[in-house]
Amino acid sequence: MLQVAHSKEWQSTREKKHEGITEVVKPFDWSYSTNYKGTEQSPAKALEPSSTPIPLELLKRPDPIEFFDEVMLYEDEMADNGITLLSCKLRVMPARLLLLCRFFMRLDGVMLRIRDTRIYVEFQSGEVIREYTAREDKYEVVRQKLAMQGRDAPAQLRDPNNIVDLLPVVDKSLESVQLS
C-alpha cells in the first residue's frame, strides 16, 4: 500500500493512540491509480493478443488533423503530497485516429507512475490496435536521472511528458482486432 514520504514520522507520533489496531479493515487506493484499458462492447469481435505495434510512422506523417481534443477526467493534489491525474486525448486524421488515455501519479519523495492506453484505428482496413504500457520508478531515482541530464527536476516532475521515457516499463500488452 502506498504511503506518503512522511508517513513513518506521523505514525510514530500516534503509536500509543492506535496500538490496538492491527489491520486495515477497508484498504483502498487513495492514489486513484487505474489500469483501465477500455471497455469492449462487442464480444463477437474481441481484441486478441497481437505482436503488431501501432504504426508510428503513419502517425508522424503531416496528415491534416480534422479533430483534436483533450479531456481531464480527474486531477487531485493528494493532500499536497504530489499529483494524480487521468486525461484522454483524441486525434482524428482523414485515414486514422489515435486515442491516448494517460494516468499520471507523482507521490513526492516516494514514486512516479504512468499508465498509458493507446487505441489506434485505421479507417480503411478496420484494424484496431490497443497498446497498454505501465511505467513506474522511485521518486529519487527519477530525480537523480533528471539532475544528471542537467534538467530542473522540480519543474520536470510536474509534466508526465517530461519523464515518461525515464520510467522503466513494468507491464505491457498489445492487442488488436479486425472490424471489417
- The answer to whether 165 and 135 are in contact (CB under 8 A) is no
Look at the block and give the residue holding cell 484498504. Answer: 27
pLDDT digits 0-9 by tens, 39-78: 887 767 889 999 999 999 999 999 999 999 999 999 988 7
Tell me phi and psi for residue 107, to 5 degrees: -100, 105
CB count, 10 Å around CB of 99? Answer: 16
pLDDT digits 0-9 by tens, 88-122: 999 999 999 999 999 999 999 889 999 999 999 99
Query: For residues 90 and 120, what is the distance between their CA atoms, to the nearest angstrom?
Result: 10
Say what the pTM is.
0.82
